[in-house]
C-alpha cells in the first residue's frame, strides 16, 4: 500500500540520489551503493520488469540492501533500473497502514477507533475516502522520478 500511496501523492520522500545496481535477489538488492541506507528506511525500485515498488530495508552491507518483503529474482544488465532512498515520515506510514486495514472491508458505512473515524460511500475508493489526509503529502512535480524516466 505504501507504494500506491506514494504514487497517488506523487511523493516518494526521496533523499535525492538515484542509483543503478547489479541484481535483485529474493531478499534484497545487490550492487555498489553511494547513498547511505539504513534499516527501517525504504528503497524505491523503478524501471524493473518484476519489482517496481517500495520496500522496507531490514539490513545493509556495502554490497547488499536486504528488505523485509520477498522480491522476484532479476538481473539488470541491459535495463535502466534504479533504486532511490526513501524516508517517509511516520505519519505517512501510519496513513498507509490505516488505508490498507480499511480498503478491503466492503460494506463498512462507518467505523470509529479512538479519535479516528471513517465512513465509506457506496463505491468510494480509498483515494476519495482519504483525500484530505492524502492532500498534505501531495507534490506537483517529482524531480527524481522524472530523472529516472527521461534521463539526466
> What is the 8-class DSSP label of residue 88?
-
What's the pLDDT score for residue 120?
Answer: 55
Is residue 9 within 8 Å of 47, Cβ to Cβ?
Answer: no
Tens digits of residue pLDDT in 7-26: 999 899 988 677 778 899 99
Tens digits of residue pLDDT in 50-101: 999 999 999 999 999 999 999 999 988 766 788 889 999 999 999 999 999 8
The better pLDDT of the pair 107, 54 is held by: 54
Look up the pTM and report it: 0.78
What's the pLDDT score for residue 125?
Answer: 81
Amino acid at each position: 500500500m505504501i507504494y500506491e500511496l506514494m504514487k497517488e501523492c506523487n511523493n516518494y520522500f526521496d533523499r535525492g540520489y538515484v542509483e543503478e545496481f547489479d541484481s535483485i535477489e529474493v531478499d534484497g538488492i545487490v550492487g555498489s551503493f553511494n547513498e547511505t541506507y539504513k534499516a527501517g528506511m525504504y528503497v524505491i525500485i523503478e524501471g524493473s520488469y518484476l519489482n517496481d515498488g517500495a520496500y522496507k530495508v531490514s539490513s545493509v552491507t556495502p554490497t547488499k540492501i536486504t528488505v523485509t518483503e520477498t522480491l522476484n529474482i532479476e538481473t539488470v544488465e541491459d535495463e535502466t533500473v534504479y533504486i532511490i532512498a526513501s524516508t517517509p515520515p511516520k505519519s505517512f506510514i501510519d496513513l498507509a497502514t490505516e488505508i490498507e486495514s480499511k480498503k478491503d472491508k466492503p460494506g463498512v458505512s462507518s467505523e470509529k477507533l479512538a479519535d479516528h473515524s471513517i465512513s465509506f460511500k457506496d463505491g468510494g475508493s480509498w483515494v476519495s475516502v482519504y483525500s484530505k489526509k492524502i492532500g498534505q503529502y501531495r507534490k506537483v512535480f517529482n524531480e527524481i522520478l522524472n530523472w529516472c524516466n527521461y534521463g539526466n
